[in-house]
Amino acid sequence: MSEAFYPKDGASGPFTAGGATPAFGPDLQCRSVDQSDRQVPVNLRQSGRTPVEMLISTRVRKSPYWHLSHEAGCWRATVYNRVYHPRGYVRPEDGGAMVEYDALVNHVTMWNVAVERQIRVKGPDAEAFVNRVITRDATRIAPMHAKYVILCNEAGGILNDPVLLRLAEDEFWFSLSDSDIEWWLRGVNIGLGYDVAIGEVDVCPVQIQGPKSAALMTDLVGEAVLDIPFYGLMEAEIAGHPVVISQTGFTGEKGYEIYLRDATLHAEDMWRHVLEAGRPHGLQVIAPAHHRRIAAGILSWGQDMDQEVLPFQCNLGYQVPRKKQADYIGKARLEAVRAELEAGNPPYRNTMVGMKLGGQPITDYAPDFWLISDSDAGPPVGYVTSPWFSPELGCNIALGFVPVGMTALGTALKVWLPDEYAEVPGVPVEAEVVEVPFRPSVNANAREKARAAGRDFAY
């Protein structure tokens, strides 16, 4: 297609011979980003912010912490895993999400992440079943340890990227990102017939994140928490109620997750106990810190990837180990893709990169997938998935997809920001491909550790 958008009512297109620039209006649909390797194109409708009131109804679940989040100041929410998900506590007129960011990187924060629904796989064949549905080797996960994992379909697309907790030899919990993996797991096992029970359990996590998190957790459960390794687990009690604690998080900062058992019964007790223990440490309740996870190169399912994105396209090639002998769903396709990559023939058009970009500071969630061109006059060739402003770097940063031939560090790009963030309305801002993560993490992920050790984790 020669036009980036398809205007209604005969309006001129943004990349026509007349040289008009992109208009970010509600009636304009992008058609020029080549997604011929996808069955369902990514939604590129550039409709901007749409001021509507969310309907709270019985069709979507409220977590046991929902009323407590509202009490803590939650003023907006989204839906995640069919659960209402708090996504803002400090209002824009009071500094908004960047005030929450400051609390995270300098103090300690608590997040309601009950949307991370816990799907338990338990039984004599639990390890064998889990090993069949994840790309990493489940046999290498010891009891009372966890791993970040991915589950793929037969075409190699990423269905979910949960934290997988191993509570015992015969018990695993999938702490889900935003897709219905419970139903898929049940369906898979109808055919495979492993001796396991699969189902959601009444466990709801909160995250405790920030440089003072260890001090707060010590006050809550004792100094034994300091001995938990990254992705380690421990059993404990908070306010007299059983919890599982992991040293994990969505930030790259020091942090923990508290998985409350029988959460529908004990949520209020635990929440208030943590708030009280957190007062001396300056604890603040905030929304999940997407601004910080972007800087750490942590992906968000449904935003940075979905069931049509291969691990090799989005910096998750390290999740496809060469040494895993056991078969798993998607293995044949992923090994074929690896061979094509090593032969220099990537079987996809677009791949993820990190970018530094100009413009006014992006201090809130992007409502659209903003478009990327290779020049001021060129049609869009890619799109931004996760942008935000980085106070440490003093510029906007973003993850996004561009053609495979435009991924080299230092590649110059143009990003079409809406007027609220553009330097000049209607003119794209300068951008440059840079290394991910954008800044060092306190809790470095596997990719960062491999880079530091001089190992190539590209695929």
Shared domain check, 119 and 32: no
Q: Give the up-direction half-sphere exposure of residue 243: CA atoms within 13 A in the CB hemisphere.
A: 27
When pLDDT is averaged across residues 7-27 and rounded to a whole number, the result is 39
Whether 49 is covered by a domain: the verdict is: no
**pLDDT of 10 over the 60 cut:** no
Shared domain check, 353 and 340: no
- Full 3-state SS string of 315-379: CCHHHCCCCCCCCCCCHHHHHHHHHHHHCCCCCCCEEEEEEEECCCCCCCCCCCCCEEECCCCCC
The band of 20, judged by pLDDT with boundaries at 50, 70 and 90, is very low
Assess contact for 54 and 77: CB atoms under 8 A. yes
pLDDT, residue 46, reads 79
Shared domain check, 238 and 299: yes
Whether 44 is covered by a domain: the verdict is: no
**pLDDT of 9 over the 80 cut:** no
Angle between helical axes of 263-278 and 213-221 (0-180°, round to 10): 120
Left, alpha or beta for 48 (phi > 0: left; psi -120 to 50: alpha)? left
When pLDDT is averaged across residues 420-438 and rounded to a whole number, the result is 95
Find the helix or strand (DSSP H, E) in which 131 lies.
helix 126-133
CB atoms within 10 A of CB 420: 13
The band of 32, judged by pLDDT with boundaries at 50, 70 and 90, is low
User: Which pLDDT tens digit goes with each residue over 143-173?
Assistant: 999 999 999 999 999 999 999 999 999 999 9
Domain with 407, as residue range(s), is 1-36+349-459
Whether 281 is covered by a domain: the verdict is: yes
**pLDDT above 70 as % of the chain:** 89
Shared domain check, 102 and 235: yes
User: Which pLDDT tens digit goes with each residue over 306-332?
Assistant: 999 999 999 999 999 999 999 999 999
Shared domain check, 389 and 245: no
User: Which pLDDT tens digit goes with each residue over 193-231?
Assistant: 999 999 999 999 999 999 999 999 999 999 999 999 999
DSSP, collapsed to helix, strand or coil, labels residue 118 as: strand
Shared domain check, 364 and 276: no
Shared domain check, 312 and 225: yes
- Full 3-state SS string of 167-233: EECCEEEEECCCCCHHHHHHHHHHHHCCCCEEEECCEEEEEEECCCHHHHHHHHHCHHHHHCCCCEE
* Whole-structure pTM value: 0.92
| End residue of a domain, out of 318, 347, 376 | 347
DSSP, collapsed to helix, strand or coil, labels residue 56 as: coil
Whether 198 is covered by a domain: the verdict is: yes
Whether 42 is covered by a domain: the verdict is: no
pLDDT, residue 37, reads 86
Whether 249 is covered by a domain: the verdict is: yes
Whether 116 is covered by a domain: the verdict is: yes
**pLDDT of 294 over the 50 cut:** yes
Work out the mean pLDDT of the chain and round it to a whole number.
Answer: 91
The band of 14, judged by pLDDT with boundaries at 50, 70 and 90, is very low
Q: How many residues does the chain have?
A: 459
Residue 241 belongs to a domain with what CATH number? Answer: 3.30.1360.120
Assess contact for 253 and 286: CB atoms under 8 A. no
Shared domain check, 403 and 283: no
| End residue of a domain, out of 313, 347, 381 | 347
pLDDT, residue 448, reads 63
CB atoms within 10 A of CB 383: 23
Assess contact for 136 and 87: CB atoms under 8 A. no
The Cα 134–Cα 120 span in angstroms is 14
Find the helix or strand (DSSP H, E) in which 158 lies.
strand 158-160
Kindly report which listed range (34-48, 265-279, 293-307, 359-373) carries the lowest average pLDDT score.
Answer: 34-48
Q: Which residue has the higher pLDDT, 12 or 341?
A: 341
Whether 168 is covered by a domain: the verdict is: yes
The band of 106, judged by pLDDT with boundaries at 50, 70 and 90, is very high
**pLDDT of 451 over the 80 cut:** no
Nearest to 399 by CA among 313, 320, 459: 313
Shared domain check, 359 and 315: no
The band of 452, judged by pLDDT with boundaries at 50, 70 and 90, is low
Number of domains in the chain: 2
The band of 104, judged by pLDDT with boundaries at 50, 70 and 90, is very high
Nearest to 424 by CA among 368, 360, 366, 375: 360
**pLDDT of 27 over the 80 cut:** no
Shared domain check, 243 and 149: yes
Find the helix or strand (DSSP H, E) in which 84 lies.
strand 83-88
The Cα 160–Cα 330 span in angstroms is 13
| End residue of a domain, out of 309, 328, 347 | 347
Give the torsion sign (CA, 185, 186, 189, 195). Answer: positive
pLDDT, residue 50, reads 84
Shared domain check, 354 and 438: yes
Shared domain check, 307 and 235: yes
pLDDT, residue 49, reads 86
Residue 445 belongs to a domain with what CATH number? Answer: 2.40.30.110
**pLDDT of 416 over the 70 cut:** yes
When pLDDT is averaged across residues 342-351 and rounded to a whole number, the result is 95
The Cα 370–Cα 287 span in angstroms is 23
